Structure 1
Amino acid sequence: MPFYEPGQRHDTRIWGRAPLGIGLDFARQVHQIGGHLSEVRLSEVLAGLSYALDLTEGQRPGHAVRSCLIGMRVADVIGLTGDQRSALFYALLIKDLGCSTNAARFAALFGADDHHLKADVKLTNWPLALESFRYVARNAAPGQFFLRRVWRMLAVLMRGPSGAREIVRTRCERGAEIARMLGCADETAQAIRCIDEHWDGRGQPYHLAGEQISLLGRIVGLAQTVEVFFSAYGIRAAYDMAAARRGRWFDPQLVDALESIRTDTAFWQGVAEGDSLDSVSSLEPADRIVRADEDDLDRVAEAFARVIDAKSAWTYQHSNGVAQMAVELGTRLGMSQPELRELRRAALLHDLGKLGVSSLILDKAGKLTDNEFAVMRRHPEHTARILSRVGCFRHLAFVASSHHERLDGQGYHQRLGSGHLSLSTRVLCTADICDALRTSRPYRPGLSSNRVLDIMGREVGTGIDPDCYDALQTVLGGLPEDQTSTPAVQVVPDLQTDYHQAA
């Protein structure tokens, strides 16, 4: 028996024989066996989700966790207070909250994959003019004809320092804003705001110098850069880099503190293996552990939805739009309040994996190539892997990552059929398609509600659940006219062509 068949309305307790398709309420109950929500630590949630930020930055998985190990060890050496350690701990884990904000701008400026650009800039001594020129030369329009590359190089160089400053400022300010949204200490937000400032005043975006830069920001800046070099080239290269930039990028006293742990082989072995969340949980000050309640978890999902949607101007508010529609549909289909809350979180986080998709693909105005579409099809798998690292969100992973599945088994990423798709999954699929069609994309304006229903109606029974579609008709029919349409001058003829390109 499948989990949910058309005609069996409002019943999510049909578990049948397909374990992957369990509904959210049942999954939540299973998840809570042996523990209580009051035992959830906010740091464990954020540490797990930091892997999504690593994805955006083009870093090896666990970059933020390893940076946290390094930064907290420096904090031990210099003797930070408990409050400072707590604020630093969170700053290190979520330092890249603003990283998606400048991804599209970065990619468009260089005509290159934003992940590669971000990874390479972390290894570049960019305040030096020659190093900056080399960075531009090797990253401008890679793979293009010579003249096109030269033109792109000139376009980047003509932007000058002001262009770089704006890209960094956007990232730092947005990251600090989201940290405050999460309820983090002001010291945490300030550290995130100035992690790209340098001791000599040649950093970005505000050219702060010396002790104008917050102490925690100085530690985060050192820790993240050391981690990047350590992961790329090993401990010797990391220390050589820190020594060469002592008094330039980094506070000399912090570099000296780092030097004092150079021979601690056990510590550095732990950093090398530090992609486990267990390795970082013990670093949070025991007397300042923050517990996460249901409202806190809602805020985390909302905050990361902002990170996700900032990746592309074309998906601004997409996650929130999908969440709102999913709750509307779920309500009409009789889902309980606990189920609706979990469904909303799954909807807010369903596109976490898109943080690993190049902005050149997300913002492409033309049809995706086979290779580009293959990359796009992997984003639900990334979503599943990231959410599976977060204990209190693990039960959301299946539903959140199944938003491109179809009743006929021709969707992705697992090609599941109707027997494996719970009501929660079917609702999320429907809400995602609807929002993708109603909002503008690089290759077409948003479609009117009537056009959306026409396109989706052709897929009822094969791609889209009939009961979800009926509920969608009711919801869209009740919206005021100014919320239902953006005039479309070009109508894509079918769902396969349009939606699979869009989302």
Structure 2
Amino acid sequence: MEVRLSDILSALSYALDVTEGQPAGHAARSCAIGMRIAQEAGVCDEELSSLYYALLLKDAGCSANAGTVYELFGSDDRAFKRDRRRTDYRSTRVNAATAFRATLPNASLLTRLRRFGGFAFGGDTTDRLVAIRCERGADIARMIDLPESTARAILALDEHWDGGGAPFGRKGADIPVAARVMGLAQAVEVHLAHGGLEAALDMAARRAGRWFDPELVAALLATRGDRAFWSSLGGDAVEVVKAFEPTDRVLMTDEDGLDRVAEAFATVVDAKSPFTGRHSAGVARISVGVAETLGLPPETTRDLRRAALLHDLGKLGVANTVLDKPGRLDADEWAAIRRHAELTTRILERVPPFRHFALDAGAHHERLDGRGYHLGLTADQLGWMPRILAVADVFEALTADRPYRDALGPDEALAIMRRDAGTAFSSEHFAALESWAAVAA
């Protein structure tokens, strides 16, 4: 089986939107805007292909700095990123004001000032966050086996025309043209969503020659009268962006390619928190072990592995104030955690080759007795896949460090889980986990 890689990446880009604090479809709309600018500017066909995939994956590294944002500011990483994108953060005054608003917003003024002073004068915080994001994003593109030109464009996403960007301070033509288009397109999309078309175009005009390549801004402004294009962005962004894929350079992917995509997005998920650094890969390893113990066929096991790698996609939409909280979660925080399972299903339902296991992947916190989440499914409604994912997910979590406790040993973790065999967990699949764990140890 071969499918268009763009169909997969455009759908999965919705997962990147939520961790950037952007409305659903941000990356896909940015892609359409970027490709429209490139067409108007006469960017060559070879560059258009690199640009198209770079635009869809431009935020692939965004989860990698989420934990650092929380560590620095003690606030919602998604809100900080959303608010910063709307400002001219090149201004010292604006940057400081944005950073201070994000610093421990519920603490006393003195506590906030102490935290803010601790990082405001300890080096260039912005460059550090940008470097983390861009380097990881380029690595994700390479994992998916995209052209190196796409990876280099993502690496230079936050460079500015006059050399005032990050992380390398490149300027002018030293910045890949795809990166120049991407930087302009994403800023336009953010301001379009927030203030409308005229506000977005005015922003671009003001920053021409400073943030953005003046020729690309001129190309953008030339589209002002293209009402059909700008109106189309109000529809399904994934459908809109399909029309902009260079028809003579469509990338297809096979079963091995689908595995690479799942593995790449698992690293995006696990990078969100320092406490989940290998969680998705671990759940996939355990799930495969359980499946092989049960004698499931290879094709079935391959689907299971992909579902396990992607089961926590929805956690990209959960703030690190919740994911990394060292103490007990309150009711609202628990509600946020529970929503991640639903978001996993919603995202995977958009991905054609993953759609058939979307509901099962999102059901990894359901219980046989109906007391799980997010749907409260019961034993009669749970197939084999969520039953395996459930035991693998809990076993991996118990045997890994968490902000509120140290990792447990395998025997201790199994002893805890054994109490819930037959009520929370399927006895058959828990027994297979025990058998696998005995050999794996």
Instruction: Report TM bin, short chain.
Output: over 0.9
For residues 173-188 of structure 1, what are the structure 2 equivalents within 5 Å?
173-188=135-150
1:452 equivalent to 2:413? Answer yes
**Shift of residue 159, structure 1, vs aligned partner:** 2.7
Q: 1:378: which partner in 2?
A: 339
CA apart distance, 1:253: 0.5
TM-score normalised per structure 1: 0.86
Matched, 1:254 2:233: no
The one-letter code sitting in structure 1 at the alignment partner of 2:194 is A
What amino acid does structure 2 have at the position aligned with 1:362? Answer: L
- For structure 2, the 5+ residue unaligned runs are none
Q: Secondary structure at the match of 1:329?
A: helix
Indicate whether 1:226 and 2:188 are aligned: yes
Aligned equivalents of 2:160, 2:238: Cα separation in 1: 30
How far did residue 124 of structure 1 move?
Answer: 1.5
**Structure 2-normalised TM-score?**
0.98
State the shift of 1:120 in Å: 0.8
Q: Deviations over 1:444-472 (max 9, x none)?
A: 11101110111000001100110111111
For 2:83, the equivalent position in structure 1 comes to: 120
Aligned to 2:366: 405
Give, as a single letter, the amino acid of the residue that structure 1 aligns with 2:390.
Answer: C
The answer (yes or no) to whether the contact 2:89–2:95 under 8 Å persists in 1 is yes
Deviates more, 1:415-424 or 1:79-88: 79-88
1-side partners of 2:373 and 2:282: how far apart? 22
**Aligned match for 1:271, one of 216, 233, 244:** 233
The alpha-carbon deviation at position 261 of structure 1 amounts to 0.4
**Aligned residue in 2 for 1:431:** 392
Amino acid across the alignment from 2:201: Y
Greater than 3 Å deviation, 4+ residue runs: none
CA distance in 1, matches of 2:223, 2:241: 18
Look up the SS of the partner of 2:49 in the other structure: helix
Instruction: Give, in whole Å, the separation in 2 of the partners of 1:122 and 1:241.
Output: 12
Distance in 2 between residues matched to 1:71 and 1:276, nearest whole Å: 13
Does the Cα contact within 8 Å between 1:430 and 1:464 map onto a contact in 2? yes
Q: Residue 77 of structure 1: which of 33, 40, 44 is its match?
A: 40
- Aligned partner of 2:430 in structure 1 is 469
- Does the CA-based 8 Å contact 1:400-1:425 persist in structure 2? yes
2:4 paired residue among 29, 36, 41: 41
Partner residue in 2 for 1:200: 162
What SS class does the counterpart of residue 411 from structure 1 fall into?
coil
Output aligned runs, 1:316-395, within 5 Å.
316-395=277-356
Q: Which protein is bigger by CA-based radius of gyration?
A: 1
CA deviations over 1:105-160 (Å, ceiling 9, x no partner): 01110111000001011112111111112112221111222212222221231234
Local SS of the residue matching 2:112: helix
The one of 188, 207, 214 equivalent to 2:176 is 214
1:146 aligns with 2:109: yes
SS in 2 for 1:221: helix
Deviation at 1:442, TM superposition (A): 0.8
SS at structure 1 position matched to 2:253: coil
For residues 349-385 of structure 1, give each alpha carbon's deviation from its aligned partner in whole angstroms, at most 9, with x where no partner exists: 0000000001111111111111101100000011011
Kept after mapping to 2: 8 A contact 1:305/1:319: yes
**Matching of residues 51-66 of structure 1 within 5 Å:** 51-66=14-29
Aligned residues of 2:161 and 2:209 also touching (Cα < 8 A): yes
Q: Which residue of 1 aligns with 2:68?
A: 105
Distance 1:276 1:124, change over 3 A: closer
Q: Give the RMSD, CA atoms, in angstroms.
A: 1.0
Instruction: State the number of aligned residues.
Output: 441
Matched, 1:244 2:195: no
Report the identity percentage: 48
Deviation at 1:477, TM superposition (A): 1.2
Match of 2:417, SS state, is: helix
Deviation at 1:271, TM superposition (A): 1.8
Partner of 1:31: none
- Answer yes or no: is the 8 Å Cα contact 2:18–2:317 preserved in 1: yes
Given candidates 375, 383, 394, the residue that maps to 1:414 is 375
Which residue is equivalent to 2:265?
304
CA distance in structure 1 between the partners assigned to 2:220 and 2:435 by the alignment = 62
- Write the deviation string for residues 285-344 of structure 1: whole angstroms up to 9, x where unpaired: 111111111000000000000000000111011001000100110111121111100000
* Residue of structure 2 equivalent to 1:478: 439
In the alignment, structure 1 segments of 5+ residues that lack a partner are 1-36, 481-503
